[in-house]
Each structure stands twice: as C-alpha cells, then as structure tokens.
Structure 1
Amino acid sequence: MARRASYLRVADDLRRRIKAGEWGVGQRLPSRAQVAENYQVSPAVVQRAMERLIIEGLLEGRAGSGTMVRAPRERLRMVRSRHREQRGGSPFRADMKEQGRHGTWESHSRARVPAPDRVAQRLAIDPGDPCVRTTYEFLADDHPVQLSESWEPMAITGGTPIVLPEMGPLAGMGVVERMRTIGVVIDTAVEVPRPGRATQEEANLLGISVGDLLTRIERTYYDSDGRPVETADIAVPDVRWEIAYEIPIGQPKG
C-alpha cells in the first residue's frame, strides 16, 4: 500500500527499536500516552500497535506493570492478518522482513492441469477444468519455512500476462496484486488450519522428520463478487513455527 495504517507504521518502528536493543528483555516500554506523543498519534493507535507486537511475541502485557519486552521464543510466530495482503508485493516476503529475515522461494508451474475433485469444489468449477498448478518451497535466510500448492482456474487467467504466477513482469508479486492487473479484485481470504503429519516428500523439503507435526492451511481467495479465484494448500512445520491470527474487532456504532 502507498500508505500503511498508522498503527502498522508505529508497530514497525517499535519492532525496529526493540530488535536494536533500545529496551531489553523484561524492561517496560514507555506509557501509551508517552509513545503516542512521540509518534504524534492517538493512544488508540499505540494500543493497536502494541497489541500487534504482543501477537508477534515481542511484547507481553503484565497487569499493573505495563507492557514489557518478552524473552525470545524458541518457536517463531507467523502472523496471519488481513493486512498481510494489503502491503503490496509478496505477503511472504513482507512477513519474513518483519522477522528480520530474507524471504525467497522456489516454484514450478504447470498449465492445463485438470482440477481434481477437491480443488474443483473449492474453486466452484467442474472437475477436470484446466488450471495452473504451482508448487512452492518458501525459504527464510535460505532455510525452508513452508510449502504450498496453488491452483488458479485458466478460465480466469488464461490468455493474460499473469497466467503463470512466477513468470512475466508481475512474477513474485503475490496473488492479490497479480489478479488486480486483470481486473479481478480480491477482497476476502478464507483459511482453514488443520493439524497434520509430514510425508516423506514434505520432510525432505522442510528438513524435518517423517511424521513430524505440521500446520496445514487450506486457503481460498474470493473476488468482490464472491467468486473463488485461487486456492492453495500450505504446510508449515510446527516444530519451528506457530500460527497466530490477527482478528480485527469492530466497535458498535452509536
């Protein structure tokens, strides 16, 4: 986005200052009023920024003591948020940047792959309809982080410059940005997380053992008309990463 939400900008800078050692583990941050004055924002904005960093595991709130810097986790936390798709470019690369890591990936696409029943059901198409199937291996600082298998109906992308997700001028930009260039506006993502066990192939790619716990995420993107336009199966090794969902709570009107 050209302009990020104010609380995300405050969270970015607080994250940077924490990682630079401005506040040590167990040390209390200034009051919300002080931080708000420093950044020239409202206390409500600061509260949301700190809540974001609590979700990420960098801060913790203690009753009667304020907000403290938390001891590092053995497992890293991957935050799934509506804002991850609104930052422009690749959401994964942005996620890893917030962790202080360099995010990259390897991919392989095949066009005109017949949709299996499970994919057809999720994309509201007929079984056997042609899709582009793309497999991904996502890396952080050259270490495997997650795997993904993505399906896009060729009825939507066929004959356009974005038919192959990782080729052409928009390679690496993410589904939301790519689809927007052909007039498909994605405004909803539905994710269904489930526990799973690593297969031999997954274990080899992720550098874990066969049977290790995974978090499997079934994700589907919908456009503004409610049409499913992409679906993916994501596998995250539980031993290294925990998944946290940021869920905005609307305030009652009046």
Structure 2
Amino acid sequence: MPFGEQPAYLRVAGDLRRKIVEGELPPHSRLPSQARIRAEYGVSDTVALEARKVLMAEGLVEGRSGSGTYVREHPVPRRIARNGYRTIGDSSPFRQEQADERLAGSWESTSRQVAADRETANRLCVEPGERVMRTEYVFRAGGEPVMCSTSHEPLAVTGRTPVMLPEEGPLAGRGVVDRMAAIDVVVDNVLEEVWARPGLAEETLALGGIPGQLVLVVSRTFYASGRPVETADVVTLAERYRVAYHLPVK
C-alpha cells in the first residue's frame, strides 16, 4: 500500500461516517447491509464487515439483535462549568452545573463503611485496609440517569462525628467543604483530573449507554493542610458532557 493511502475499510467507514454526520443517514435509520456496502463501494465482505466494526467502535451505530445495524442518536454535549469552589450547597460537578443552568435534577445515594483498597488508600494517603466511608451516587436530569459518582472519606477524619454520613444528619448534601468546616477541618485545596476510558459494563448500562462506550471521569480530591479528606470519581458518558474550566489569571 502506498505511503499515506488509507486501507479500504477505513475509506468506506469514513464515507459512511460523513453520511451520518451530515444527516444523509439520520438517527434511527438502518445502516446499509453488508451486501449493499460491498456492492456500492466495490469491496469484499471482509472490508464491509471491518468498516461496520469501525462505526460501532466509534459509537455511531449500534446493532439490534435480529434486526440489523442502526444509526445512533447523539445528544448535543452540555458543559460542566468548573470555576473553583463556590458555596452553592454542594461542589460536585453535577450540582454545580444544575445551579448554573437551573436544571431540574435529583440524585440518590447509598453509604457504607469499607476497607480502603490500594488505589483509594493511595489517593487518601492512608494504609490499605483502613476504614473509609464509601458513598455511591446516581444523578438524574429529567428523570434520566446522567452521572454516577463514588466518593471515599477517611473515617479517621469523619468517624463518630455528625458528618460521618455525607447524605444524612444536619449537613446532609451540603458538600465536602461545608461539612468538613463543621468539624473544624478547613479545606484549602482541590485537585481535579479529567480523563477518558472505556466504561465498565455496569457504568454504561446504568447511564443508558452501551458496553465499551467511552466515559468521561472527573477525579477530584479535597485537601485540608495537605491531608486528603475526600476523593471521588464522577463518571458520565463522554458524548454527553464537556468540562469547561474558568480560571482566574493572577
């Protein structure tokens, strides 16, 4: 193959992708069959199959058992606006975005004590096996699940205090900064890392996606005088959100 020339399956996938993006193949329409792709582009069955696989891997189409392959509907991505901590009742990306756009949303959560695994222990600067409070959230907008979150707090900090359970007690749902301040722990720094990875099956299914679909992860850790007091991963389907940071210039 000459240098710079695309393999046949990528050329076919590229043309089908163009038709999807430009609306020639609108959402919910059926992708041309393998036989039709073979005839229209003058390629082999193998090339036609590989082109369809590319579009499926990109999340542009989905297979329906016994029916065929169809163009997926892609939502217009919404922004998660991050402007640093603001006292708006909670500082999670989802709740901050709700406050910014007046979205009607809700969430449900469960909390339980667990032994910190190696990754959690590393993020909280504690020993593996140390007891932490694990809280799992599902956030909804318009009744549909849009984000999941898992947070961990060291019980060495919050244990036997009124804020031990993040969503119960006098400061339920008030956010890490306010809750920690109530027990004289002053949060003075927040680290966020944004990255993407293939979603776990349970994550994507819970969010209404398909297994293997890319998810966007906001990994966030709150610090008080250099000590981590909460760490969390907020997960959403990558096609739904973009993270926008507004940072002051000093």
TM over 0.5: yes
Q: How many residues align?
A: 174
Identify the residue that residue 65 of structure 1 maps to in structure 2.
none
Q: Distance in 2 between matches of 1:148 and 1:239?
A: 17
Identify the residue that residue 95 of structure 2 maps to in structure 1.
93
Change (3 A) 1:151 1:123: same
Q: Deviations over 1:142-177 (max 9, x none)?
A: 222211110000000001011011111111111111
Q: Deviations over 1:12-64 (max 9, x none)?
A: xxxxxxxxxxxxxxxxxxxxxxxxxxxxxxxxxxxxxxxxxxxxxxxxxxxxx
Q: Distance in 1 between matches of 2:123 and 2:96?
A: 27
Q: Work out whether 1:228 is the aligned partner of 2:224.
A: no
1:179 offset after TM fit, Å?
0.9
Q: What percent identity do the matched residue pairs reach? A: 42
Identify the residue that residue 192 of structure 2 maps to in structure 1.
191
Q: Work out whether 1:115 is the aligned partner of 2:78.
A: no
5 Å matches for 1:21-100?
Answer: 74-82=76-84, 85-91=85-91, 92-100=94-102
8 Å contact kept, 1:195–1:213: yes
Q: 3-state DSSP class of the match of 2:102? A: coil
1:104 offset after TM fit, Å?
1.7
8 Å contact kept, 1:93–1:102: no
5 Å matches for 1:168-187?
Answer: 168-187=169-188
Q: Distance in 2 between matches of 1:192 and 1:93?
A: 18
Could you tell me which runs of 5 or more consecutive residues in structure 2 were left unpaired when the two chains were aligned: 1-74
5 Å matches for 1:121-132?
Answer: 121-132=122-133
| Paired AA for residue 128 in structure 1 | G
| Paired AA for residue 185 in structure 1 | V
Q: Deviations over 1:88-134 (max 9, x none)?
A: 312333421322312321111002x1111111111111111100001
Q: Distance in 2 between matches of 1:103 and 1:174?
A: 16
8 Å contact kept, 1:97–1:103: no
8 Å contact kept, 2:81–2:96: no
Q: Distance in 1 between matches of 2:96 and 2:197?
A: 26
Report the TM-score when normalising by structure 2: 0.66
Q: Distance in 2 between matches of 1:175 and 1:97?
A: 17
Identify the residue that residue 214 of structure 1 maps to in structure 2.
215
8 Å contact kept, 2:221–2:228: yes
Identify the residue that residue 145 of structure 1 maps to in structure 2.
146
| Paired AA for residue 233 in structure 1 | D
1:138 offset after TM fit, Å?
1.1
Give the aligned CA root-mean-square deviation in angstroms.
Answer: 1.4
Q: Deviations over 1:166-198 (max 9, x none)?
A: 111111111111111001111211011111112
Q: Distance in 2 between matches of 1:139 and 1:163?
A: 24
8 Å contact kept, 1:196–1:215: yes
Q: Distance in 2 between matches of 1:75 and 1:218?
A: 20
Q: 3-state DSSP class of the match of 1:127? A: coil
Q: Distance in 1 between matches of 2:167 and 2:177?
A: 14
Change (3 A) 1:142 1:202: same
8 Å contact kept, 1:153–1:229: yes
Q: Distance in 2 between matches of 1:118 and 1:151?
A: 11
Q: Work out whether 1:248 is the aligned partner of 2:248.
A: yes
Q: Distance in 1 between matches of 2:116 and 2:239?
A: 32
Q: Work out whether 1:106 is the aligned partner of 2:81.
A: no
Report the TM-score when normalising by structure 1: 0.65
Structure with higher Rg: it is 2
8 Å contact kept, 2:88–2:99: no
Q: Work out whether 1:165 is the aligned partner of 2:166.
A: yes
